[in-house]
Structure 1
Amino acid sequence: MAMFTNRRRAELESVAAKAVGFLMAELKHAAGKPVDPKKPLYRAVCTIMGYVCYGQHFDKDSAEVGRILETADEFARTARFGVLCDYIPWASWLVRKQVAKFVDLLRRIRAYSDQLTEKHVRTYDQENLRDVTDFFYKISTTQVEDGYDDSNEYDRDMLKGLSGSLFGAGFGTIALTLQWAIMLMAKYPQWQGRVRQELDDQIGDPHHHQLVWSDRGKLPLTMATLCEVYRYSSISPLAIVHKATKDCQLCGYEIAEGTPVLFNLYSAHRDRTVFDRVDEFDPGRFLHEDGSLDPTKADLIMPYSLGRRRCGGELVARFEIFIFFASLIQRCIIQEDALNKLDLNNYICTLALHPKPFKVIFLSRTGEW
């Protein structure tokens, strides 16, 4: 992923700029009126992930994107039954029907991603790597010393699984993090205003300067605010279940090979020995007294889990979230609706923490979106 992101950064930034334009066009229609940002966000992010994973420039209004979003909604509703069985395996007998629906949904998702991946394998050109799937395929086919066999069913399944997981998990968690960011900025306008001032001072008019990934070095408060969004929301509270690959010891405990392993990220992000006032939203906790970003504190935030098997799409996710978040704050004022007060403790816990449907008001700062 890092190889793809670094080599294609200029292209990614261009695609992200177009997706930001799509999002602004949708928000423009509701300017001044309360709107739920969920669907516009999902559509915009989906267009980027389609390019990253499969080299496809999805039309945000197409039937295909509509089906993808419907599937994402269905996944969010049913995933909690799969999670329950991860934690309490015998509970699968109590929710057999719901688990069967969840398994069927996973099969449909896999079939869709398999179709896109197979198309890539048939049209693969090692001199023209189009996207992450092509990069995965190239790396796999050149690792002969590791026993890769292009005809091997297992290797091909691994390729499909990597691409499909990156696409499905990628656009969902990115859009979800942005939902939390929008809600928090509406709830804490003082922080929103300070971030906007920094963007004005360091970047200037968004219509004259396209935000790029390297801009983050000039924006310590913006980056601190994103760290606090990650910490406060902790959208993946227990991450994804992994397992020990060999017998090992941790803090005096014996962990046998094959033991399921969970990372309690929610607890780590609210560790009172590390963070003060853990239930308050305070980006200042990640800044030095001189206003610069505290990298040691920032490194304590781990929204993409830990270790060698942490989320493979972390770099792309951080890039997209930065571009969308900073662009929104640059161009819009996000307000809480007096008739739809935001409740930050009102969320649904499935595989991730989803805020319950909410509405906010987006106002253009200049009349130009």
Structure 2
Amino acid sequence: MSWVSWTLDVPCRQVLAVCLLMIFSLLFHWYLRNRKRKGRLPGPFPWPVIGNLLQVRNNAHLKLNKMREIYGDVFSIKFFSRSVVVVSGQTAVDECLNSQSVLFSARPELAMSQFVLQGKSLTFARMDVSTHKQYRHLALCALREVTRTKTRTAFQHRAEEDGTTSNVVNSEDRRSHIEQLLLEEGKKLGKRLVAVGELHNQDVVGLTASVKYEILSTVCNINASVLWGQRYGRHDSQLKRMVNATKGLQTSNASTTLLNFMPSLIKILRPAVNSFVQLNESLENDLKTQVQSRRQQTESCNGHGNKNGKDHNSVLDYLLKVLDDDKLEQNYETDRTLLLVGDLLGAGTDTISVAFAWLIVYAATFPEVQKRVRREIETFQQEFDRLPTYAERCHLPYIMAYITEVLRHSSFVPFTIPHSPHNHGNLCGFHITEGTVMMISLWSINRDPDLWEQSDKFRPERFINRQGEFDRTKADRVNVFGGGRRRCAGEHLARIELFLMVVALFKEFRFERLGGQTNLPDTELSISIHPKVIDVRTIEIG
């Protein structure tokens, strides 16, 4: 080819490239419009084999929120070859979780939940509406019974056994067993945080790891007490196993999640899968040990146990009583019933430990807010000569506003556990096929600038009305517990834990960021959104 013909060919190539690009753009635009016109879902173009995985691999909640600006509140992406529908914004999420709660309350068939939990988990398994309703109601009853059980003194126990009086202390004046537990564990946690702060001083990495461990250890101990009535010493081997197993499950979550969308990767990810299975078996074995222990105690108690008793000190006690009750109209499967304890343990450990961490980090980052929270606690204590109960939270509106704003601003649970329709249906005009994986973005609600003035700003005052009261109507817009039939069964317990932990910690301890940092730390997304560093020093108030 001559030099002249080559130079003449260059513009032709450029024109051809431009033409091809324009044709491709027009076809792609037509493709998106055509999908929407026919009620099919819009969404980004998926790459062969991997789909849109690389586009959302880091900070998925932020990446998907950006896609929402392009494709709308309901759109489709692909993880490998599996389609995933993303639902964002208050209107679409409300239609999905509440207006059409029955239709969209199923769980998709995910490989790990079927493989590890045999499809019997209330939280993860796909089950029919009536079965899920039955066992969710049972879980709610168990938690309701445990959270209202009152603390009994040794004097009360003796009096009741002797039959000398049935009114030693008015039941309305007694703090619940859970509330007393939380106040005690909160104080212990504060003292341990003081110690690790003194130990690590300016070592941010060591301090972060120690603070996270102490918080997780506290949450595991609280859960053990609530779920099977066992409260461990700080160095107890079983408590350490629980903490290590939970940390292991958090670490292996990313690898095992991939298997839900590409089961063929199991050969490559076999070590992570084996670790995940072993950690689950460890927690399951601990639960079986507790079940055997409780049954032995029941049999040794004059052959009657607590069948005639009204108080249930743990969820497990309540569930065993239900299983042993022959008069109940409904039948409960033993395995599925006892798995409720494991479900509540899994759901309430990572999320609550991350919530506790954020409550401390926000307090240290915004010292004026922290002072106002502490002042409200001191005012209540001066008036009533004691710390508040959860039932008295209306007297502490700023604490409620602080907790709610931490939940909103951190939005540390960015998505619900995946939903799926029981049958073919429509959502916001789009056709959703049965079994489709649905990611429901809670982040898109909690940080929506159309719902919240200065949504990126941390302002607890937004939840205080003109009368100085906690604005419950506005607080109800904040969503961290899901909604509808799949709303978190442990929500009430979680709210008690958050309130009482703030009371216990903020009354006796002050939190400061190392170096006087005034910006919140960077975040990481695993199961929840958690702070990369917790560079917070805890100081006991004299």
TM-score after normalising by structure 1: 0.86
Alpha-carbon separation, structure 1, partners of 2:445 and 2:265: 27
**Match of residue 6 from structure 1:** 148
User: CA shift at 1:304, angstroms?
Assistant: 1.7
Paired amino acid for 1:5? T
Could you tell me how far 1:122 is from its partner in structure 2?
5.1
Secondary structure, aligned partner of 1:267: helix
Matched, 1:26 2:192: yes
Deviation at 1:233, TM superposition (A): 1.8
Q: Which residue of 2 aligns with 1:104?
A: 278
| Distance apart, 1:296 and its partner CA | 1.1
Question: Per-residue displacement from partner, 1:7-37 (whole Å, max 9, x unpaired)?
Answer: 4461112222221232233234356656543
- From 4, 10, 16, give the equivalent of 2:182: 16
Identical columns (%): 27
Cα-Cα RMSD: 2.7
Please show how residues 250-329 of structure 1 align to structure 2 within 5 Å: 250-329=427-506
Query: Does residue 49 of structure 1 match 2:223?
Result: yes
Amino acid at match of 1:69: V
Deviation at 1:121, TM superposition (A): 4.6
Shift of 1:92: 5.6
**CA 1:136–1:261 in structure 2 vs 1: closer, same or farther (change >3 Å)?**
farther
**Paired residue for 2:336?**
158
* Whole-Å separation in 1 of the counterparts to 2:399 and 2:149: 25
Deviation readout 1:96-144 (Å, 9 max, x if unpaired) = 5434432333333333323323443554532343311222344456585
Paired residue for 2:107?
none
CA deviation map 1:79-108 (0-9, x unaligned):
122334446667667645434432333333
> Over residues 219-259 of structure 1, what are the superposed CA-to-partner deviations in whole Å (9 max), with x where a residue is unaligned?
11110110011112222211222333344433223444433
Aligned to 1:132: 315
Tell me, what secondary structure is at the counterpart of 2:484?
coil
Q: Which moved more, 1:34-43 or 1:181-190?
A: 34-43
* Aligned residues of 1:86 and 1:241 also touching (Cα < 8 A): no
Q: Map 1:1-369 to 2 at 5 A.
A: 1-8=143-150, 10-30=176-196, 33=201, 35-36=207-208, 37-86=211-260, 95-121=269-295, 123-124=297-298, 125-128=306-309, 129-139=312-322, 144-148=328-332, 155-204=333-382, 209-338=386-515, 341=517, 344=520, 346-365=522-541, 367=542
Residues 1:26 and 1:147: Cα distance change in structure 2 (over 3 Å): closer
Counterpart Cα distance in 2 of 1:202 and 1:172:
31
Q: Would you say the 8 A contact 2:377–2:387 is kept in 1?
A: no
CA distance in 1, matches of 2:216, 2:392: 24
Structure (1 or 2) with the larger CA radius of gyration: 2
Asked whether the equivalents of residues 114 and 164 of structure 1 are also in contact (C-alpha less than 8 Å), the reply is no
- Residues 254 and 123 of structure 1, relative CA distance in 2, 3 Å threshold: farther
Between 268-277 and 92-101, the greater mean CA deviation after superposition? 92-101
The alpha-carbon deviation at position 213 of structure 1 amounts to: 0.9
Measure how far apart 1:320 and its partner are.
1.1
Distance 1:30 1:291 in 2: 38
SS of equivalent to 1:335? strand
Structure 1 contact 231–301 (Cα < 8 Å) conserved: yes
Q: Distance in 2 between matches of 1:282 and 1:132?
A: 37
| C-alpha separation in 1, matches of 2:307 and 2:431 | 45
Q: CA deviation at 1:335?
A: 0.8
Aligned partners of 1:46, 1:302: CA distance in 2, in Å? Answer: 24
How much does 1:316 deviate? 1.2
C-alpha deviation, 1:205, in angstroms: 9.2
* Runs (5+) with no aligned partner, structure 2: 1-142, 151-174, 299-305
Amino acid in the other structure paired with 1:130: N
Once the two structures are TM-superposed, the CA of residue 169 in structure 1 deviates from its matched residue by 2.7
Q: Deviations over 1:293-312 (max 9, x none)?
A: 11111111121221222221
**8 Å contact kept, 1:286–1:293:** yes
Q: Which amino acid aligns with 1:183?
A: V
The alignment partner of 1:242 has SS state of coil
Q: Which amino acid aligns with 1:260?
A: V
* SS across alignment from 2:511: strand
Distance 1:205-1:103 versus aligned 2 partners, 3 A rule: farther
Cα pair 1:241 1:260 within 8 Å, conserved: yes
Q: State the match for 2:17 in structure 1.
A: none
CA contact (8 A) 1:227 1:298 kept: yes
- Structure 1 residues 250 and 115 mapped into 2: Cα distance closer, same or farther (>3 Å)? farther
Runs of at least 5 residues in structure 1 that lack an aligned partner in the other structure: 149-154
Q: Is the 8 A contact 1:228 1:282 kept in 2?
A: yes
Structure 1: distance between partners of 2:178 and 2:216: 17
How much does 1:292 deviate?
A: 1.3
Name the aligned partner's letter for residue 308 of structure 2.
Answer: E
Structure 1 residue 319: Cα displacement = 0.7
Q: Which amino acid aligns with 1:242?
A: H
Structure 2: which amino acid aligns with 1:127?
N
Q: Match of 1:361, SS? A: strand
Comparing 13-22 and 177-186, the one that deviates more: 13-22
Number of equivalent positions: 358
Q: Contact 2:323/2:334 (CA < 8 Å) preserved in 1?
A: no
Mapped contact 2:245–2:282 kept (Cα < 8 A): no
**Residues 46, 82 of structure 1: alpha-carbon distance in 2 compared, 3 angstrom cutoff:** same
Q: Comparing 25-34 with 190-199, which one deviates more in the overlay?
A: 25-34
Q: Equivalents in 1 of 2:267, 2:297: separation in Å?
A: 44
Indicate conservation of the 8 Å contact 1:83/1:351, yes or no: no
The one-character-per-residue Cα deviations of 1:306-337 (angstroms, maximum 9, x if unpaired) are: 12222211111111111111222221221111
Distance 1:93 1:225 in 2: 47
